[in-house]
Amino acid sequence: MIYENWLHTDLLNTRTNFCPPLMGRISCDVLVIGGGFAGLHAALRLAESGKDVVLLERSICGGSSSGKSGGFLTPSTESDLTQLIGLFGIKEAKLIYEIPVQGINLIVNAIKKNNLNCDLQKQDAFYLAISRGDIEILKEEARALKKLGYSSAFCNSKKLQLIHPSRGYHAGLRSRNGYGINSLVYAQELKKALLKKGVRVYEGTEAHKIKNNAAKTHLGSCQADNIIVCIDKMTNEFDKDISKKYYHVQSFLAVSEPLSKLEIKKIFPGQRMMCWDTRHEYTHYRIIGNNRLIIGGGSALTTWYPKHFNSPWVINRVIKDFRSHFPFLEHVKFPYYWNGLIDVTKDLIPIVDYDPKNKSIQYVMGCAGLPFAAFCGDYAARRLLDEKTEDYSKYLGINRRFFISEGLQQFLGKPLSFLLSHLRALTR
Ligand SMILES: Cc1cc2nc3c(=O)[nH]c(=O)nc-3n(C[C@H](O)[C@H](O)[C@H](O)COP(=O)(O)OP(=O)(O)OC[C@H]3O[C@@H](n4cnc5c(N)ncnc54)[C@H](O)[C@@H]3O)c2cc1C
């Protein structure tokens, strides 16, 4: 197995634009810092509204979490609708669930409108019960979805064998609102579209600090009327108070050698789907371009681990478990694997808010999932443009209350505080 992000190989077949680092002093209407899905979508909305936009990216656009992802676009994965209802009640859960639903629409619309070539595949989302006891979880989720007006189809084990023949899954819940993409290629293709719209993009450009509405970088600075910060892994030096608000969870992916058409037909006799199961560190898989299988998962031991855990140990366990469900794929090799740290808040709902000391700066942080990130970047841009938007300040506010306060967090440490908070958020 090679420790390498497979998505980079697809990038080699894509014409990308070179965006050199910022040198010297520049200014603009709006500065966006961070070129993941959040920053790119903030820049897109602003550029389409006629603003003069600069985007600074430390690595390349999509160079962090956004370009390491499995490209599953579904409204649920971290939190089921049932869990959101348990935490927030029906009305508010609907509002929160709508965030990724709208995020998916933003991504798919951007692909169609700008002709972005990024392996877009319409794939139903398929949620699988890993034990008999978990069948009730799927039934409950189906009831919650129906109550809030979303369609889904519960498949008992007999039906499941027809659409997804496998061993050891006990039921499935199919929802029709999913897509798969190559998220790294998407980020680079969207960058290309932004350049055409006049956005000035500087890659290899890390903003070290913001002072008097100017972001200082290694070789220059950018002064702006407004700034939207969409960065990950914020350091204490960047902002000591805000960096306390989020931590990360660690996830792993692997990509298989190409499967034969027959093998794919055996996994999905009908439509190809995006699958994940009912475990906390859920295993998830789907077919990507070139008929390869991408598979992801994690382990309780490494999810909240402070550092990158580069050993293939975790992903090998995930693959072993996958093979137990599909013994006819025993011979298939997974030559590439990689891991990544996903920024998250304690309640797994992002932060989109103004800097308490400077209302011309907004932070978009802890977006767990590509659809969340796309929505949150777009939402921050719409707020800046004074567009009529739904008011999400109650859920996305920077000073909202968390299960574990910052005082207690100081005592427990970040990994334990976030672990306990996430277990609470994910309790059904
Ligand atoms: C292994 C893995 C698999 C995943 N699979 C999926 C999936 O299938 N589906 C899904 O929905 N989500 C998935 N995710 C989660 C998803 O990728 C993230 O939640 C999402 O991409 C976050 O987007 P973002 O724009 O908020 O952050 P990021 O993508 O992290 O973007 C932040 C950007 O800011 C830049 N930056 C940081 N500091 C600075 C600075 N000081 N100056 C300038 N630039 C800076 C970084 O380089 C980065 O490009 C996965 C994540 C990982 C790691």
Q: What CATH number has the domain bearing residue 168? A: 3.30.9.10
Q: Kindly state whether residues 339 and 382 are assigned to the same domain.
A: no
Looking from the CA of residue 343, the nearest atom of ligand 1 is 19
Say how far apart CA 186 and CA 371 lie, in whole Å. Answer: 13
* Cα 329 to ligand 1 centre (Å): 31
| Furthest CA-CA distance within the chain | 65
Q: Kindly state whether residues 234 and 358 are assigned to the same domain.
A: yes
Residue 292 lies in a domain: yes
> What are the C-alpha distances in Å from 47 to residues 120, 187, 189, 427?
24, 16, 16, 41
Q: Which residue type sits at 169?
A: Y
Q: Please list, in sequence order, all residues whose beta carbon lies within 8 angstroms of the beta carbon of residue 162, skipping any fewer than 6 positions away.
A: 269
Q: Which residue type sits at 174?
A: R
Please identify every stretch of the chain with a pLDDT value under 50, giving residue numbers as ranges. none
* Cα 129 to ligand 1 centre (Å): 28
Say how far apart CA 313 and CA 309 lie, in whole Å. Answer: 9
Q: What is the pLDDT of residue 428?
A: 62
* Cα 62 to ligand 1 centre (Å): 7
> What are the C-alpha distances in Å from 22 to residues 28, 185, 352, 366?
13, 23, 26, 26
Give me the phi and psi of 381, to 5 degrees please: -65, -40
Q: Kindly state whether residues 240 and 129 are assigned to the same domain.
A: no
**Which two three-digit tokens encode residue 397?**
């506010």
* Cα 233 to ligand 1 centre (Å): 10
Say how far apart CA 395 and CA 8 lie, in whole Å. Answer: 35
* Cα 273 to ligand 1 centre (Å): 24
Q: Which helix (H) or strand (E) element contains residue 249?
A: strand 247-255
Residue 259 lies in a domain: yes
Say how far apart CA 41 and CA 33 lie, in whole Å. Answer: 12
Q: Kindly state whether residues 188 and 224 are assigned to the same domain.
A: yes
Decide if 296 contacts 252 (C-beta within 8 A). Answer: yes
Residue 89 lies in a domain: no
Q: Which of 322, 344, 366 is the last residue of a domain?
A: 344
- In angstroms, the first-to-last Cα distance of the chain is 37
Number of helices (H), then strands (E), belonging to the chain: the values are 15, 20
Residue 368 lies in a domain: yes
Q: Kindly state whether residues 176 and 34 are assigned to the same domain.
A: no
Say how far apart CA 29 and CA 50 lie, in whole Å. Answer: 10
Q: Residue 377 belongs to a domain with what CATH number? A: 3.50.50.60
Decide if 253 contacts 338 (C-beta within 8 A). Answer: yes
Q: Kindly state whether residues 167 and 195 are assigned to the same domain.
A: no
Across the strands, what pairs with 407?
none
Decide if 346 contacts 405 (C-beta within 8 A). Answer: no
Structural domain that includes position 151: 121-180+248-344
* Cα 374 to ligand 1 centre (Å): 11
* Cα 150 to ligand 1 centre (Å): 28
Residue 109 lies in a domain: no
**Which two three-digit tokens encode residue 44?**
């897109």
Q: Which helix (H) or strand (E) element contains residue 402?
A: none
Q: Which of 304, 329, 344 is the last residue of a domain?
A: 344
Q: Which residue type sits at 396?
A: L
Ligand 1, CB within 6 Å, residue ranges = 33-39, 56-59, 63-66, 68-72, 206-207, 230-232, 251, 253, 296, 340, 342, 367-371, 373
Q: What is the dihedral of CA 263, 265, 269, 274, to 10 degrees?
A: 80
Q: Which helix (H) or strand (E) element contains residue 407?
A: helix 406-412
Q: Kindly state whether residues 273 and 339 are assigned to the same domain.
A: yes
Decide if 400 contacts 64 (C-beta within 8 A). Answer: no
The best mutation among 3, 6, 66, 245 to test binding of ligand 1, ranked by most ligand atoms within 8 Å of the C-beta, falls on 66
Q: What is the pLDDT of residue 86?
A: 87
Q: Kindly state whether residues 326 and 401 are assigned to the same domain.
A: no
Q: Kindly state whether residues 27 and 61 are assigned to the same domain.
A: yes
**Which two three-digit tokens encode residue 326?**
């599909």
Residue 92 lies in a domain: no
Q: Kindly state whether residues 281 and 339 are assigned to the same domain.
A: yes
* Cα 39 to ligand 1 centre (Å): 10
Q: What is the pLDDT of residue 77?
A: 66
The residue with tokens 């002064």 is: 223
The best mutation among 69, 314, 344 to test binding of ligand 1, ranked by most ligand atoms within 8 Å of the C-beta, falls on 69
**Which two three-digit tokens encode residue 255?**
């990509």
Decide if 398 contacts 363 (C-beta within 8 A). Answer: yes
Q: Kindly state whether residues 258 and 318 are assigned to the same domain.
A: yes
Looking from the CA of residue 56, the nearest atom of ligand 1 is 43
Q: Which of 284, 314, 344 is the last residue of a domain?
A: 344
Nearest protein Cα to ligand 1, atom 33: 34
Q: Domains in the chain: how many in total?
A: 2
Looking from the CA of residue 217, the nearest atom of ligand 1 is 42
Strand residues in 144-212 grouped as ranges (E): 153-155, 172-175, 179-180, 200-202, 207-211
Say how far apart CA 284 and CA 298 lie, in whole Å. Answer: 10
Residue 114 lies in a domain: no
Residue 99 lies in a domain: no
Across the strands, what pairs with 275?
126, 285
Nearest protein Cα to ligand 1, atom 31: 36
Decide if 132 contacts 93 (C-beta within 8 A). Answer: no
Q: What is the pLDDT of residue 379?
A: 97
Looking from the CA of residue 339, the nearest atom of ligand 1 is 1
Q: Kindly state whether residues 255 and 165 are assigned to the same domain.
A: yes
